Each structure stands twice: as structure tokens, then as C-alpha cells.
Amino acid sequence: MPGLTVSMKEPVVLIENDSDGKLQVVRSALDILDQIDQHVVVVSVVGLYRTGKSYLMNKLAGKSKGFALGATIQSKTKGIWMWCVPHPLKPDHTLVLLDTEGLGDVEKGDTKNDNWIFTLAVLLSSTLVYNSTGTIDNHALEQLHFVTELTEHIKVKSNQQNEEESSEYLRLFPSFVWTVRDFTLTLEIDGKPITANEYLENALKPRKGLGKKDQEYNLPRNCLRNYFFPRWCFVFDRPANGDNMKRMEELTDDDLEPRFVKQAKKFTDHIFTEAKTKSLKNGLKVTGRLLGNLAETYVSALRSGNIPCLDNAVVALAQIENSSAIQRARAHYQKEMTNRVVYPTDTQEDLSEIHSSVEKEAVAIFINSSFKDEDRRYQLELMRVLQEEYDKICERNSKESRIACEAKIKRIFASIEEKIKDGSYMTPGGYKEYCNDQKLSASKYRSEGGRGIKAEEVLTEYLEKKTSIGHTILSADKSLSEAEQRAEAEQAIKETSERETRAMKEMVAVQERLIKDQQKTYEENINQLMEKMKTDNRHAIEEHERVLQARLKEKSDLFQQGLDGRACEIQSEIDNLKKMKSQEEENMPTFMSTALETIGTAAAMFLPGILPKVGGMALNFISRFFKK
């Protein structure tokens, strides 16, 4: 079931500076993100002011207007603007475009603010577009000094003491696209044509020297190579000439240089195809709502003077999102049960089937949104909450059944009540007439629908109240001998016992079904949890593999460039990555077994019907998982 999304007609401010100059998240923008249950592809553009960043973002939004382009030396974009549009190639994704204020704005003159804007763009995006003009030379790389300072503004772990390995940042940072505007050079090296990507990689080659100038030269290059993968580059001709540059928002593609139009389309096609879903550690996919919470968490850390910590952010987000996921699942369950259940249901099984279907949907809502629920605390709370809701529904179903049955009995047995009142049965032969009338009325009562799960219980209770009246009528019937009266009394006792047996069977059937419901609740939660674990495990492996391949490529490149020392340093990172992957794979069965035992043991407190089977089921589930 695809999640909800929104399609904005124009961009809005997501992050701005308050009156004290501190960054703050705009509430109305968060409200928009909060409506987006779909996964998001987040593309941020950064770069020096007045380099044409906003034009590229408008193209990605499929519009000629939206993000302000401006035609003067003043930067039009302040803070971070957001535009959410349907993803053109992924129907179940929303494309979130973030346009940042121009770095190095002389009017603002606040390098600290520039650093935080750049940092937030990195933290929030799945693809980071760096926009510059001219060429990728040493000057251009020196202007990208924000990259060299990223590790000063972002921590991966809260207990971080030494500098994190670059692979930790590489795991969490977005892919990188360098767009070079007004490019006038020929793409070739030593007379041989090269691609724009090769142009970028050639510009990022470090020097072999160890002197101060060499280190300064290598620093931004090493940071880009170590923190961002994959990397791409696109070069653009000048879009138009003369005064046309001042009115870009008014121009159509026909008014622009054909090569520029072609280059812009190549860039947008690439972003639509290659930009990945925003994810956090271990491949956790981010929704719009989660992205809003992420922005709040990071900005809150900055406002308080702290360095954003990725691990802490995930923990904080998990608490918010998991609690919210429980409430959304509960609300869905309440709404759907209200819509689907017609009281009273004919049988408990009818109610159970509806409950099972809706519960499955509710669990899916929770499972698809929850994360880092390592002790399964939130899932157990979900199970308890849904069982609580189901208990209320079962109680109402019983009450509605009793009300319906009592109403039917009152109507069907009304003629008997009248005869009792006027003494019609207090005559010779009256007892048999009374018994026949009761049997006919009971038969009619049982033939009618809409009685629900209390049908026999309510009938039994009613007829038991009439026992003394039956004795009175029997004693008054002078047409029966003493022997016949004893026989009739014994028959009445027998029929009472049969009715009680039917009522008991009815109650037992309901209780047995409720126990089955508890068992099914456990199975449904475990099935979906196992699938979630399986998916999470696959995402974690994919993440490990992506980082591993990036470090292997970097090692190979460094060897080719004769930088054997640095290549050997990366080998230690590669070894650690392989070791971590192996350990996680080895620990997975134990982790899963612990999770299942935790859920089974704790859930038995409010689902006693599952207690005898928890251990065996856990082993069965794990066995099934590793066979897939």
C-alpha cells in the first residue's frame, strides 16, 4: 500500500535564521513533511552565491519558476528552501528538493552560518549537488573548504574520542554531484577526450609530497574522496547571452543555448535515475515525516551549541517515530474495526476474521515505520494496545449480542408471557401446552439471525427464570397423574441440562477462538518482524558492500597513483569493514532468537494463550528465515 504524499505548487522555507541569527526549522514546512508517509529522495544543492543553483532545482521540479533565480549580485535564497514533488520515476517516492542559501554571501558575511548550512545539506540529503562556475581547479577546491571541516561539525558516535574512520562517514554521507557552470574548456587530457566524471576524478588526484603545501593541496581532495561515493560531474555551457541571463525565469528551452538544454536534461535524467532514497545507518529508509524530525533534531543540536551526532539522532528519532507508529497503527485499527464490524457478529469467528485482517494492516503500519526497537519494547506495546482494543470490541460484541437476544426473546416469548399472566396455562392439559409453546418459541428464536455469540446463554438464563413458573403450572395440571408429573419434572431437568450444555459449548467456542486469536496475534507480529529483520539485514549488507566497494576502488586508485602508503592505510579500513560484516552475519541468528524470546515471554503476560508454544515457534521462525 503506497504511502501518502503531497505535491507542492511552490517551494517554502524549511530552515531560516531567527531574529538572533540562530537557525530554526519552520513549523509550516514540518507540517508538510509530516503528511508524507512515502520514502523520500532528497537532493540538496549547495555552492557559492550567484552560481545558478536555483535554476537546476527548478528543472528537477519540472518548472521554470519556483526557487528564486534573481538577476543581480544579491543572493536570493536565504536559509534552506524545500520543494516536495512526486518522483517522476518512482511512483512510491517523493522527491524533496533543498535549495540552500549561497555560500560566501558578502552581505551576510557569516562563515559559521555557511558551515552549518552546508552541514545540514549533507546531513539531510541523499544526493548533494555542489554548484560552481568556471573550472575545477585548486582555487575551486579551496572554496570547497566546508568539506574539510565536516568532521568538526558532525560526529558519528556519541562516545567518539578519536577521529572516526572515513568509512563511517562514507557510510552515512550522500552521493556527490559536482556541476560546473559556464564551462569553456575542452574535456581532454593529453589530447585524449575524457568524460566529465574523469575530469572530476583527475582534479581530485592527490600529490605524493608530504610538505605543508602538499598537505593543504591534498586536504579537500582527500575529504571528497573519503566521504562521498559515488561521485559524478556535469559541465554546462553558458545558458544564454547578454541580457537574457538576467531574465532566465522568463525564458523557455527554445530561448536557451541548445547544448545547455541538452546538458541540463542529462543532469536531471541522472538525478531522477541515480539519486537514492534517503537512508540512515544500516540502510533505514527515510520518509517525509522522518526527514522533518531529522531536521528538527539536527537544528536543535546546533541551536544548543552541540555537534550533531548521527547515532544520537537515530536514537532520538526512533523514540519519536516508534511512539508515533503505535498511535497511527492504533488509530487505523480503531477506524477500520468501526467501519467493518456490524454488531453483534453472528459468531466469534466472524469477529476474529475481521480483527485478524485489520490487525495485520495495523502491524504493517507499525513495522514499516518503526526502527531501532532493539529490545522490542515498542512492538510489545503495540501488541498490548491492539489486544486492549480488541478486548473492548469483544466486550461490546457480547453486550450487543445480549441486548439483541433479550429483545428477540421479549418479542418471541411475549404470547407465553401473556398466557402466564391471564392464567391460561392453569387448566387441565395446561402444562403440555406451556411446554409446546416454549419449544416452538425457542425454535423460532434459534432460527432468527442477528443473535450473536450470547444466543444460548441468554436463552438459558431466561428459561431458568421460568423454572418456578413451570413447576407451578405442572403442579396445577390435574390431568396428569403423579407418575406423569414426575416424568415431566425429570424431562424438564434433562432439557435444562441440555440447554446449559449448549450454552457452555457456546462459551467454550468463544474462548477457544480468543486463544487462537492470541496465537495468531503472536504469529502475525513475529512474521512481520522477521520480514523486517530480513529486509534490514539486506539493507545493512548492501550498505556494507557499497562502502567496501568504495574503499576498494579508492585503494586501487591510490596504488595506480603511486600513493602506496595511503593505500595501505585504507586496507586497514577494508579489513575492519569485512570483519564487521562477518560479525554481524554471525550474530544475526542470536539477535533474532533473543528478539523472539523477548516478545514471546513478555507478550505472554497479556496474551496467555501463546505461552506453551513460544519456544518452539521461535526456533521454527528462525529456521524458516535462514532457509529463504
* Alpha carbons 129 and 44: distance in angstroms, whole number: 6
pLDDT at 256 over 90: no
Nearest to 351 by CA among 407, 395, 409: 395
Alpha carbon 387 to its chain centroid, in Å, reads 22
Q: What is the mean pLDDT of residues 33-58?
A: 86
pLDDT category of residue 608 using cuts at 50, 70 and 90? confident
**Digit-coded pLDDT (tens) for 129-168:** 999 989 998 888 888 888 888 878 888 876 655 545 667 7
Strand ranges (E), 309-465: none
**Going by DSSP bridges, is the β-strand pair 80-86/12-17 parallel, antiparallel, or unpaired?**
antiparallel
Contact in structure between 83 and 11 (CB atoms under 8 Å) = yes
**Digit-coded pLDDT (tens) for 534-572:** 888 888 888 888 888 888 888 888 888 887 777 787 888
Alpha carbon 302 to its chain centroid, in Å, reads 26
Give φ, ψ of 273 to 5 degrees.
Answer: -85, -45
**Going by DSSP bridges, is the β-strand pair 175-181/127-133 parallel, antiparallel, or unpaired?**
parallel
Q: Comparing 3-7, 525-529, 614-618, which segment has the lowest mean pLDDT?
A: 614-618
Contact in structure between 406 and 350 (CB atoms under 8 Å) = no
The CATH architecture one would assign to domain 12-30+39-152+168-274 is: 3-Layer(aba) Sandwich (3.40)
Q: What is the DSSP string of 508-566?
A: HHHHHHHHHHHHHHHHHHHHHHHHHHHHHHHHHHHHHHHHHHHHHHHHHHHHHTT-HHH
Domain ranges of the chain: 12-30+39-152+168-274
Sign of CA dihedral 214, 219, 223, 224: negative
The position carrying cell 405442572 is 474
Contact in structure between 202 and 194 (CB atoms under 8 Å) = yes
Alpha carbon 184 to its chain centroid, in Å, reads 46
User: Which span out of 372-386, 401-415, 518-532 was modeled with the highest average pLDDT?
Assistant: 401-415
Q: How many helices (H) and strands (E) does the chain have?
A: 21, 10
* Alpha carbons 170 and 166: distance in angstroms, whole number: 6
Neighbours of 143 (CB within 10 A): 15
Cβ partners under 8 Å of residue 5, min gap 6: 35, 36, 37, 38, 84, 86, 94, 288
C-alpha cell at 284: 533505514
CA separation, residue 616 to residues 552, 581, 612 (Å): 43, 29, 9
Could you tell me the pTM of the whole model?
A: 0.81
* Alpha carbons 455 and 443: distance in angstroms, whole number: 12
The amino acid at 624: R
